[in-house]
Amino acid sequence: MTTDDNNMGRTPTLADVAGLAGVSTATVSRCLNSPDQVVERTRKKVEDAVLKLGYAPNFNARALAAKRTNTIGAIIPTMENAIFARGLQSFQEELGCSGVTLLVASSSYRTDLEEEQIRTLVSRGADGILLIGLHRDPKIYEFLKRQNVPVVVAWVFDPNAKVPTVGFDNFSAMKALADRVISMGHRRLSTITASPQDNDRASERLRGIYASMMEAGIPKTELSIVEAEYGIDEGGAALEQLLCQTVRPSVVMCGNDVLAVGAIAKAQELGLCVPDDISVTGFDDIEIAKISSPALTTVHVPHRRMGKEAAKMLINLVNAAKNQNSILIETSLVVRASLSGA
């Protein structure tokens, strides 16, 4: 027994396998990547050697040589709530069907971090990237184009964007909800929203509320706005802030279900009855919307379908590089007990 061909020291390489199997590295490589090019007998020898050595290919070397990673990256604002997790899960499942691995990073809603992570993903050789929302420094899109990395943007729909989008119309969805709210007699409106600054979903939804108010002839000033990060406790805190104001709003439209559930809990804690004293609405229709008490009026977003479509589109782009048309995901109003007439 020699000292170097067996399981001593270094982790085994392609060359080790080739040596053991008595073939060239090229043949081993072919066994791994396109087995049908190799005759049965040879393949068997190679497979035995692989097993015996416990060989695992070095991904980085492979990526370097092949200039392809079969990897797609996604950057989401946060992993901490179910909203993105669910869409991402089906995104991942769909990718998996095509043998593509998903790399996830979360930006904590910070554009600087996001930018850094985009660079990281690119330099890791992601064949494509999924981003949430369109709003970001144009330089990033240039960078991506220059690096030849296709991008799909999800969670928003904009057929005129310079990158394909898979998502819903945040403006119209929220406007539809606001229309309903206003039609039920609400006039003193309020909203708890993520900062619309760097967040086009939030700003579009806000626009939706304003548009609805305008149509109903309600002055803009009738909407009180509190910004909050997404979280149950944050929703509660935001509600308290709203209640401090001179006129108490009759309804609070929350940027998502998590905020809404927090707001409801806090309202109840403060002795208010939802919806009699104050109505609350959410956005997303995640599971807690249904089990909240009172159950949450919200906008249903088919996250899974969105994730799946985004994956398909990205795979197409990676493979064929032909342009893809943006896909509109339809949302729907779900009216439940947390909303009542004013």
Partner DNA sequence: GTGCGCAATGCAAGCGCTTACATTGACGGC
Partner DNA sequence: GCCGTCAATGTAAGCGCTTGCATTGCGCAC
Query: Under DSSP, is residue 38 helix (H, G, I), strand (E, B) or coil?
Result: coil
* CB of 246 vs a copy of itself, minimal distance in Å: 28
Query: Under DSSP, is residue 16 helix (H, G, I), strand (E, B) or coil?
Result: helix
Q: Which residue do the tokens 């994730």 mark?
A: 307
Supply the DSSP symbol for 297: B
Structure tokens that stand for 315 in this block: 């795979």
* CB of 320 vs a copy of itself, minimal distance in Å: 20
Shorter beta-carbon distance to a copy of itself: residue 122 or 335: 122
By CB under 7 A, tell whether 259 contacts DNA.
Answer: no
For the segment 37-76, give every residue that binds DNA (CB under 7 A).
37-39, 41-42, 55, 57-58, 61-62, 64-68
Cβ–Cβ under 8 Å, residues 339 and 279 = yes
Query: Under DSSP, is residue 328 helix (H, G, I), strand (E, B) or coil?
Result: strand
Interface ranges with a copy of itself (CB under 8 A): 7, 11, 54, 56-61, 63-64, 69, 78-82, 85-86, 88-89, 92, 101-106, 119-120, 122-125, 143, 146-148, 231-233, 261-262, 264-265, 268, 287-288, 290-291, 293
Cβ–Cβ under 8 Å, residues 154 and 167 = yes
Q: Which of DNA, a copy of itself, none interacts with 201 (beta carbon under 5 to 8 A by kind)?
A: none
Q: Which residue do the tokens 């067996």 mark?
A: 6
CA-to-CA distance for 88 and 119, rounded, in angstroms?
20
CB atoms within 10 A of CB 90: 19
By CB under 7 A, tell whether 27 contacts DNA.
Answer: yes
By CB under 7 A, tell whether 144 contacts DNA.
Answer: no
| Site for DNA, rule CB under 7 A | 10-11, 13-15, 22-27, 29-30, 32-33, 37-39, 41-42, 55, 57-58, 61-62, 64-68
